[in-house]
Amino acid sequence: MTTRKYLTLLLAILAIVPALAQKQTPNIVLILADDMGKECIGTYGSTYQTPNIDQLAKEGLKFNYGFSQPLCTPSRVQIMTGKYNYKNYSEFGFLNQDQKTFAHLAKEAGYTTAIAGKWQLGANQKLPKHFGFDQYCLWQLSKPRREGERYAKPLIDRDGEILKTDAGDYGPDIFTDYMLDFIEKNKDCKFLAYFPMALVHDPFLPTPDSKSWKSDVEGRFKKDTANFRDMVSYLDKNVGKIVQKLKDLGLYENTIIIFTGDNGTGRPIVTQLKDGSKLQGGKGLTIDRGHHVPLIVNWGTGRYKTHETNDLVDFTDILPTIAQAANVKVPVGWSTDGISILPQIKGEKGTPRKWIFSHYQPIHSEAANRQSARFFRDRHYKLYSDGRFYDLQKDIEEKSPIALGKAGTEGEKIRKVFQNEMDKLPAWKFGDPGVAKVILPGLEPDPAFAEKGD
């Protein structure tokens, strides 16, 4: 072979390599339920009917120790940016506009991106694109909650227009159909679909599958916690539609699906578990039921030797996981905090974290702000920055803090580890302000749309 022919062949091979690498990278579907603790899912012991999510866990991998923040916006900021809240959280209902997200990384890797569902990160229709999404269908984008809800007759921004809806339209169906259409249109290229669902947040209203939906139109707007069971079932139904669409298009085997929840279940809800016990929702609280959420991942069938793990995961881990799956590096300058769980998603051991950390400072209502706290925990123990230390296996509700030196050999060893990690952090005390709010030119919100809901 002549030198010229060899160089021509080499150049052709080099041109093909990036395309092959791109073809091997998976699609990514991230589904975030709203106000759903792990006790709401059948595979975690719930009596609610969630067959589609349960099947996703049966085919994939269920994490028994997945942790969000205790409230909506703090979780959304953390999952999208991969940072603990003390670094970039300025106020409830807002994401500082100098931040980078997992959607930016996906775009860099050649993915087409979309978001549908609940926004609550700033009131300006330019923001989804600014944060890396090619298209969107969102509630709480340019209009606040007080002007329209997310369920019957929803108030929705879709790619620059406000949809005209009536009492027969159901927001979760509009969001799901948008995701299905996005997947269909992008079946021949790599895509990232972020689905922060509207369900199952209050108001607790009937769904189109509820018995009263057709016979009582006015009842579609009447709140009743009795509707919660139907709302969980409807959420599961819509997750099933996403999974089935991927299977119908032949995309399921090369799509990473991540299902989780943004915080604990609403506190008015008491869930009956299969073991006979009951659990009250803990949304907004820093105890276990406030931030212990379902986390189920799947990358096709036949990949997993075991279908559940006790590895610890928190929301900072999602961004590096997406980055590794998309074969793109997270810039060091982003100062992210997570550990990729892609090895576990691939069916490998990975490098599980030793603890999870939470800096929770909602900067919301007076009642919510009283719950502000900073803590480290693992499966067994938990240490707050004010010195409170708990044995979670004996005291999951954190009623009896253990005095220094009284936690036994193992407990005191872990207390010391947690305290050493706490000492590495920038100083913080209850009542300190959050980081400065960042609004960029051209992305200013309309002051009339200041958001107060959660």
> Is pLDDT at 453 greater than 80 in this prediction?
no
- Least-confidence region, from 5-14, 86-95, 123-132, 238-247: 5-14
pLDDT digits (tens, 9 = 90+) for 153-188: 999 999 999 999 999 999 999 999 999 999 999 999
What is the pLDDT at residue 452? 55
Residue 37 and residue 266 in contact, taking contact as beta carbons nearer than 8 Å: no
> Is pLDDT at 305 greater than 80 in this prediction?
yes
pLDDT band at 10 (very low <50, low <70, confident <90, very high): low
Domain ranges of the chain: 25-354, 366-449
pLDDT digits (tens, 9 = 90+) for 291-303: 999 999 999 998 9
Give the containing element (helix H, strand E) for 150: none
Taking the model in full, what pTM does it have?
0.94
Separation CA 282–CA 290 (nearest Å): 4
What is the pLDDT at residue 18? 41
pLDDT digits (tens, 9 = 90+) for 189-236: 999 999 999 999 999 999 999 999 999 999 999 999 999 999 999 999
Query: Beta-strand (E) ranges in 121-236?
Result: 135-139, 157-158, 161-162, 191-196
- Residue 407: phi and psi, rounded to 5, are -95, 5
**Cα–Cα distance list, 10 to 19, 21, 112 (Å):** 15, 17, 30
Residue 140 and residue 120 in contact, taking contact as beta carbons nearer than 8 Å: yes
> Is pLDDT at 1 greater than 70 in this prediction?
no
Separation CA 195–CA 32 (nearest Å): 6
Q: What is the DSSP string of 63-78?
A: EEEEE--SSHHHHHHH
> Is pLDDT at 79 greater than 50 in this prediction?
yes
What is the pLDDT at residue 24? 76
Mean pLDDT score of the chain, rounded to an integer? 94
Token pair, residue 425, equals: 């952090």
CATH annotation of 25-354: 3.40.720.10
Mean pLDDT to the nearest integer, 406-413: 98
What is the pLDDT at residue 302? 87
What is the pLDDT at residue 7? 56
> Is pLDDT at 413 greater than 80 in this prediction?
yes
Residue 100 and residue 81 in contact, taking contact as beta carbons nearer than 8 Å: yes
Separation CA 434–CA 89 (nearest Å): 6
Mean pLDDT to the nearest integer, 338-351: 96
Mean pLDDT to the nearest integer, 275-296: 98
Separation CA 294–CA 424 (nearest Å): 30
Mean pLDDT to the nearest integer, 348-352: 94
pLDDT digits (tens, 9 = 90+) for 14-39: 443 444 444 579 999 999 999 999 99
What is the pLDDT at residue 9? 55
What is the pLDDT at residue 21? 42
**Cα–Cα distance list, 201 to 16, 49, 261, 278, 343 (Å):** 47, 17, 11, 20, 32
> Is pLDDT at 289 greater than 80 in this prediction?
yes
157-158 and 161-162 strand pairing: antiparallel
Residue type, 454: D
Mean pLDDT to the nearest integer, 103-123: 98
